[in-house]
Each structure stands twice: as structure tokens, then as C-alpha cells.
Structure 1
Amino acid sequence: MKSELKIFNTLTREKETFVPVNPPHVGLYVCGPTVYGDPHLGHARPAITFDLLFRYLQHLHYKVRYVRNITDVGHLENDADEGEDKIAQKARLEQLEPMEVVQYYTERYHKYMDALNVKSPSIEPRASGHIIEQLAIVDSILQKGFAYESNGSVYFDVERYNREHKYGILSGRVLEDLYSTTRNLEGQSEKKNSFDFALWKKATPSHIMRWPSKYSDGFPGWHLECTAMSARYLGETFDIHGGGMDLLFPHHECEIAQSTIAHGHGPARYWMHNNMITINGQKMGKSLGNFITLEQFFTGSHKMLEKAWSPMTIRFFILQAHYRSTVDFSNEALLAAEKGLQRLMEGMAQLEKIKPGNVSEFDVESFKSKCYEALNDDLNSPILIAHLFDAVKAINSVAADKISLTADDISALSSTMHLFVEELLGLTPELKSETGSEMLDGVMNLVLKIRQQAKSNKDWATSDQIRDDLNALGIIVKDGKEGASWEIK
């Protein structure tokens, strides 16, 4: 089964049979979140995509070391080399230490990944914990002549690199095009070219997060962290590097350039990128008012949501599309996903109740082979789900005495369904009757509506009383621009 897995390699733009560097060991590195705000739907997609890959590689008996980093320093505004660090900015606004912000939102991220049934990675390093490794790479690139120091900052010389290598091999960007599409911004005059990127930035007097170096008191560039941490935990050459399509350029392109100079070659043999999520055909963004956090999805507290949507509905919704396809959110699409998931789970429950017959009129082995073929074809989860629904149709036909299955085939079909639905797709029954989560969501949505009505009527006493009474019960109410949300202490 191992030799049959094919992965679309962004680097070669072809599907390639997956062959690890050092079988049965597999090194998998995925760019994790910058932890300065609540995780949103865009965070869920790469997490679920590479969770599926992680699960399937383990099922194929590979020993996978899965590294997913936490970006807690160096990611500046607008993904540029200027402006304020995103975490430091949040810390300043909320009058907190930056690492308080990091700790809070890292825990929030873990909470929602657990709800989505995303498995924890093998290692989850933080950028701030690997400053020494990052500075060593800066030294190496400088010594080899592919970087330059300017006013205490160090920049990668993209033009020099492109003369001996090729900048843009992952994204297809051509350096000549970058001359015409990039512009010199205020504060970037210390660069030779506007498209050169920071390896080390000198901190301004007001910059909170800084470390001493021979260049200046400063901090590493955003692109540098993944090069340092992937090499630290997976070696200078590893198998798969993953992340969202939005990271392909410039982040991953810069990683390849850094690694090529520091280590003599690119870091990964296979590059995998999941596509974006749009909302009603528009790119998701705070400025457009369509930015929805996972908490808002789970509680239904955003104005664009018709109701609360369960974590498993969100997971199923994302898996219904191939990871390289764009996913467009709408309430109608989520409703269809909710109904589809319910049908799948009801089919599995029905399977445990059907009575065996003397003959089998559904080919379980053929069904199982088709499921493997789907995952081996670049993790084609929508095709796999279509096969699973074929099995559900057969299960319902057996339950209606239209066809029959032997006891052995019922057992085989049950184990196959559990394998692909629960173990690999990671879809689990929501156990509404045991947890009461859906009922609690409904009650809380009603309470928050009543409180909002009180606020609209300027009945501040009732509004405050509802908030305080809920707090006494262990439920925190938070007011925001998009409305109120809640969480259990």
C-alpha cells in the first residue's frame, strides 16, 4: 500500500509516488498559526488537511514525526519586513506581556483543534525558543555572501541568489516581474532591493520582543523560523513540507532560498499546499466583515451565521472538497454538510443492527479497494466520501430487506466503515444526548438574544445581570464588534 500513495508536489507540479527519504520514517513539517487572535475557519483547513495526511501515513505503518510550529515572534504587519510584530501589537493593545498573548491564544488554538478532532503533532516548537538556531543560519548565509548587513539588520540578497540559483521555483515567480510589481516602501531604503527579505531585524526602541546578537538587539525574520526549526527536528532534508496556499509566496519561496544557501539544497522533497476558503465567493477578511472565528461557528454568534454549527460538521464540510480546491462557505453549504454527516453516521449505526443473510449482494472488498484508491490519489477525500455514501445506500437496502449480506461481510463492512470514517477522516459521533452540547448552544443563543434586546432598549441593569449571573454559573460572556460570544470557564 505504501508505494501506491501519490502526492501532488507543488515543486514539480505533478503527482508523484511518495517515497520517504529514510523509510519507514517520515518527516512532516507544517506551518502552524501565528497566535495573536482566535483561530478561524482559515486555520481549520490546513489543520484538517494535514491531520488526514498524518493519520493516513500512520495507517500505512510509517513512523511519522509531525512538526507543526507556533509563530510567536517576527511575523510583522501585512507579512512585510516593516511595521509592528503582530503579537507585540496585540500585547500593547491589551496591556499584556507578549508571552501572555502567546500562551492564551495557543491554548485557544489547541482547544478548537481538539474540538475538530485534529491530532496533536509530534513536536510543536515555538519560534522564540529557537533564536540561537536562527542566528546560526544568518551567520552562515552572510559568510557565503548571500546576505548583507544594513543598519543592524540583515537581509537576504535575492538578486545575488537568483544569479546562481533560481528564485521562484516553487511559485513560478520571475525576478524580473518582481522589479515591476514591488515598490520601495517607507523605511525600506536600507534594502538593496524591495524584494530582499529580512533574516534579522534591528528592533526599534519601542519594540518589545528583542534578543541580543552581534548585529543588533533585534529579532528574526518571519521566514527564518521554519528553516531553523524544520532542520532542528527533521534534519536538513526531510520528506513533506505543508501549509496553506497563501504561504507559497513569499514565505515558502524564502525558505527554499535560505535552506539552499545554508544547507546546500532545499529543505523538503514534497511540497503540499491546501487551497483557500472563501465566504459567499469573497476572500475571508476582517475588513470585509466576513471574518468568522471557530468559536463563532460553534456558538452561532456571528451575524452571518443562521445557527451554531458543530465541530464535526465543520470538519466534514472541509473534507467534502479536495484539499487543493477552493472551499466556499455558505449557510446552505454547511446545512448540506450537516445532513450528509448525519446520513453517514446513521448508516454506520444502522449497520450494527442489520441481520445477516445467506448471500452477499454488495462487494465489500471492491468497496474497500475503492476507498484506498481515493486516498492514494493525493488524499481525494470527496471521492472517498462518495464511496462511503454508496456503502450507506447498500446498508439501508439491507435494512429494508432489498439485498442481503453475510455475517462475515457485515463484520468486514463495519470495520472498513469505522476505519475510513472515524480513524482516517476523523469523523466521530457527536453524542448529543450525552453531552447536551447542541441544546446548550441553543439555550445560550436564546439568552444572548434576550440580553442584546435589553441592551438595544438601554436596559443596562438587565444586560449586566444576565452577564453576571452567567459568570456565576461558569459561563463567560464577551462583547465584541460582531456581537456577543460565550465560553465555559
Structure 2
Amino acid sequence: MQLYLNQKLKLYNSLSGEKETFTPLHEGSVGMYVCGPTVYSNVHLGNCRTFISFDLVFRYLKHLGYKVRYVRNITDVGHIEDDADEGEDKIAKKARLEKLEPMEIVQQYSVDFHQILELFNNQPPSIEPTATGHIIEQIETIKQILANGYAYVSNGSVYFDVVKFNETHDYGKLSGRNLEDMISNTRDLSGQDEKRNPQDFALWKKAEPQHIMRWPSPWGDGFPGWHLECTAMSTKYLGNHFDIHGGGMDLKFPHHECEIAQNEACTGQSPVNYWMHANMLTLNGKKMSKSTGNNILPREIFSGNNDKLSKPFSPSVTRFFMLQAHYRSVLDFSNDAIIAAEKGFNRLMDALDNLKQIKHSSASSIDIVSWKQSCYDAMNDDFNSPILIAQLFEAVKYINLLKEEKETINSQDIELLSKTLNAFVFDVLGLKNEVAEETGNDKLEGVVNMLITMRNEARANKDFALSDQIRNRLTELGIELKDTKEGTTFSVN
């Protein structure tokens, strides 16, 4: 693979509030952790935007030649309603409502999550740990925080002592909050009398008799705090200090702030060099909300089965729409906006198809090398996908002029143009030429059906040697024939 590590990548660090030159801890390698979903419902479009944003980061780092270990967790313990320390476990609540085991809920919505991200052409992470698979690690982390004096046990629960921690550390440095001014993320709920301070958050919660998901611990049966899960899993697979931690903007406080505190209290060092946060997605200018009905699920977009859009839109068009905005900006999803995105997407794919027909000449009238660097400059500026897409449309203009023979290009430059376009459109942005794929599938089906007809004729003529030869050759190509009473069907392995 060609390496582009000489490209000077800058990214916005939420911790410093500035764009910083990216320097990995280990040359040529990157460790990245992104907070994954709590699997108690279908993944919503706003979450998909976050995961698409970090898929772009993952893809570009790999394109530059870095060896990336991308860890994204699955929260399958089920944390508390509204992410407070009191209330009802979201997964257990859904299990009770649907009369299922909690792990049936986890499995159902984990499968949905993976299917949706696969439709969006997201690449899977390097490691996808689950919270339930790392209870031991979480308990060990709590033990160390207790030993270091930054937590206390109260009535079978363990709480992080924020005030004690803030005496020697800076609690609030990520979100820019002062402890004295903070609104308690625990609120005035039952169980507050267990805490020394309202701002303290649970590392381990005692399970009440009716609580379904529970594990034994040195402090009694219970379950881990939400913030603790990511601390335990990120450090297990990336070490106590790693390069990038990402998630949605809504996780900056309290979740990521608490992660930093837990890590520093446990290991004595700050866990992450670069904190990255993707912004929110609105729908028709308003916050997405199930309760108000201002909500749309990815499958409803793909099927057209909704009251928000005039027609269905493909996963690649939807992905392209999201990448037209910078990951740190608020993006509004609307019928008009995605129709415009579809037109742009189709123009881009048409240009890629037209490029194959362009004839080269002895000289180029356009500077492809400078254009290529402008694509890198866009992505090197905090993964600026909208500027990259603008540069790709400059190439679309070139291609249209070349097609009309108003510009010229030599063979070396046309190869560079094609290679660069394909790299950024498909490898970095992760788009798919769905029309070309559908056409290819139609052609494959036509050819295989023609061979099935030839095989049936050979069998009718008792030419079993030819019949077997057709079946065997198709099997070698990964195409399995199945003979039934209704006829012969095929599947591609």
C-alpha cells in the first residue's frame, strides 16, 4: 500500500479547543476508541451520522498508511434512564415490555445496528468489545480507584468522589465547566443520600431485588456505572494512554468528562491525546425526537415508508448527504436537502463512468497533481469532507470538458485522475456506485439463467457430461445451483 504519512494532518481537539497537528504516540500506528450504541432500540439516524463520521476518520487514516486499531464498544449492560444514577435500566425495561430476556433485546438490536452500518458501507472496527464481557476489568478498575482514594463505598454501591478528585485534578477541563457551577448529572432523586456530593457518579450500583442484569462483586450484587465501561474497555485494548477518543457531542459531558476523571484517578495519567466530537443531526430544523414524532429511522429512508420524504433514498445517497457537512457542524436533514444530495451523487457517479470513455492525448491542459493535493489538503484540515467533495466536483467539471474535447489530458494524468478519484470517492468517503452494482447484478443473473437454460437442455438431451460441466464450473466460481420441483435456482457464495 502506498504511504502518505508525509501529509500534515490537523484535527480539532475538543480538549484544547484548537486544531492540532496529529502526532501519534507510536509512529505509523493509531489507537482510536469510539463510544458505541446502547442496544435497546433501533439505531437512529443521529447515531448513524456519528458512526459515519468516525468511519471517515478510520478510512482516511488507513488511506494515509497508518495501522489503525479502531475499538468501538457495545453497551449491553443497559445503563440508567437519562444516564443518571437512578431510574430504570433501559435494556431491562425494554425486555419487560416485550416479555423477552435482556440478552434477546441486546441480540436483536445489535444485529440491527450492524446491518444498518453495513448498508451505509461502514467498515467494522478492529475490536468491538461488549460491556458484559468486561465486568472483571471494570471491577478491577474500581478497586484501583478505591485504593487511590478517589472513590467510596456506600450501601453496596461505589461512587466516584468528584470533590476529592478536583482537589488535585481538573474535573471539567473537557467540557469547560467549573465544579462549583455544574448542574448535577445525578439530579435530586432517591438514593442521593448515599452520596457525599451531588456531583459524585456511580462506578458500581447495588442491584435492587427486581433488577434483572446483575453480577457479583466485592461490594455485593450489582452492575457497573455507564462511564466506567468505556474506561475499562478502551484501556484494555489501547493502553492507559492512546491517540484518539471519539463520540457524539452529547457525550462530552458527563460521559467523557467522567472517563477522563476515572482514568486519571486509576492510572495517574490522562488517557487520550485527541478528543473528537461529532455534532448533532436535526430533522426539518428541529431536534429529532420519538415523543414528538419528529423522527425517521434509516430503514424508513431506504424503503420510503415514512411521512417525511417524497421517495426512497439509497444508503449511499444518505451517506453522501451526511458527508456534505463537516462532522463538527449541525446538519439538518430534510426532503429538499437529500434530493439535492442525490442529484450531486448521481453527477459524481456519472463522471466516474464517463472517465472510462475519455481518450488521452499527448499533453494535458489541466494540472492534475495540484488538484490531487487539494483533495489531501481538504482532508488534512480536520477531515473536511465538504471541501473534499467540492474538489471532487472540480474533477467532474474537468471530466465533462474532456468529454466535450474542450480540454486535453495525457495518459499519465488520466491514470492519476482516475486513481485519485476512485481512492477518495470509494476508499475514503466510502461511497458505492449502486447503479453500476445493480447493473452488474442484473447482468450476472442474466448470464447464470442462460447457463441454467443450456444445462436444462443438455439434461433433456441426456448430455449429462455437459450438464455436470456447467454445474461444476459455476460451483468453482462460487455460484451454487439448486434443483427443485419448481425449477433451478442459484445463490452466490
* Structure 1 length-normalised TM: 0.87
* Residue type of the alignment partner of 1:28: M
SS in 1 for 2:41: coil
1:242 aligns to what? Answer: 246
Distance in 2 of aligned mates of 1:435 and 1:154: 57
SS in 2 for 1:139: helix
1:123 deviation in Å?
A: 0.3
**What's the CA shift string for 1:344-372, capped at 9, x where partnerless?**
00011100011112321121101100001
Q: Structure 1 residue aligned with 2:214, among 210, 232, 237?
A: 210
Distance in 2 of aligned mates of 1:96 and 1:205: 18
Q: In structure 2, do the counterparts of structure 1 residues 353 and 50 end up closer, same or farther at CA, with 3 Å as the change threshold?
A: same
1:122 aligns to what? Answer: 126
2:378 aligns to what? Answer: 374
**What's the CA shift string for 1:25-73, capped at 9, x where partnerless?**
2111000111111111112112111111111111121111110000001
Distance in 1 of aligned mates of 2:165 and 2:366: 59
Q: Structure 2 residue aligned with 1:147, among 146, 151, 154?
A: 151
1:10 deviation in Å?
A: 0.5
Q: In structure 2, do the counterparts of structure 1 residues 435 and 284 end up closer, same or farther at CA, with 3 Å as the change threshold?
A: farther
The question of whether the paired residues in 2 share the 8 Å contact of 1:211 and 1:218 is answered with: yes
The question of whether the paired residues in 2 share the 8 Å contact of 1:185 and 1:194 is answered with: no
State yes or no: 1:270 paired with 2:274: yes
Distance in 1 of aligned mates of 2:131 and 2:218: 19
The question of whether the paired residues in 2 share the 8 Å contact of 1:38 and 1:108 is answered with: yes
* Residue type of the alignment partner of 1:316: F
The question of whether the paired residues in 2 share the 8 Å contact of 1:116 and 1:312 is answered with: yes
SS in 2 for 1:189: helix
The question of whether the paired residues in 2 share the 8 Å contact of 1:74 and 1:220 is answered with: no
**Where do residues 28-427 of structure 1 align in structure 2 (5 Å cutoff)?**
28-178=32-182, 183-427=187-431
State yes or no: 1:25 paired with 2:29: yes
Distance in 2 of aligned mates of 1:93 and 1:136: 34
- The alignment's C-alpha RMSD in Å is 1.4
The question of whether the paired residues in 1 share the 8 Å contact of 2:86 and 2:186 is answered with: no
**What's the CA shift string for 1:370-417, capped at 9, x where partnerless?**
001111111010000000000001100111111111122111111110
The question of whether the paired residues in 2 share the 8 Å contact of 1:68 and 1:123 is answered with: yes
1:435 deviation in Å?
A: 5.6
1:296 deviation in Å?
A: 1.1
SS in 1 for 2:70: strand
Q: Structure 1 residue aligned with 2:5, among 2, 7, 10?
A: 2
Distance in 2 of aligned mates of 1:68 and 1:182: 26
Structure 1 stretches of at least 4 aligned residues deviating more than 6 Å after TM superposition: none
* Residue type of the alignment partner of 2:32: L
The runs of 5 or more residues in structure 1 that have no matched partner are 437-489
1:153 deviation in Å?
A: 0.6
1:180 deviation in Å?
A: 7.9
1:314 deviation in Å?
A: 1.1
Distance in 2 of aligned mates of 1:289 and 1:163: 45
Larger Rg: 2
* Structure 2 length-normalised TM: 0.86
1:262 deviation in Å?
A: 0.2
**What's the CA shift string for 1:243-288, capped at 9, x where partnerless?**
0101000000000000001011121111010111011121111122
Distance in 2 of aligned mates of 1:181 and 1:53: 30
SS in 2 for 1:401: coil
Matched residues, number: 436
* Residue type of the alignment partner of 2:262: Q
Distance in 1 of aligned mates of 2:330 and 2:183: 30
The question of whether the paired residues in 1 share the 8 Å contact of 2:78 and 2:92 is answered with: no
The runs of 5 or more residues in structure 2 that have no matched partner are 443-493
* Residue type of the alignment partner of 2:238: L
The question of whether the paired residues in 1 share the 8 Å contact of 2:37 and 2:74 is answered with: yes
Distance in 2 of aligned mates of 1:379 and 1:269: 17
SS in 2 for 1:359: coil
**What's the CA shift string for 1:150-207, capped at 9, x where partnerless?**
1111111111111111110100011111268974223322122222110000011111
Distance in 2 of aligned mates of 1:62 and 1:434: 33
The question of whether the paired residues in 2 share the 8 Å contact of 1:74 and 1:221 is answered with: no
The question of whether the paired residues in 2 share the 8 Å contact of 1:8 and 1:14 is answered with: yes
SS in 1 for 2:111: helix
**What's the CA shift string for 1:315-336, capped at 9, x where partnerless?**
1011100111111110111101
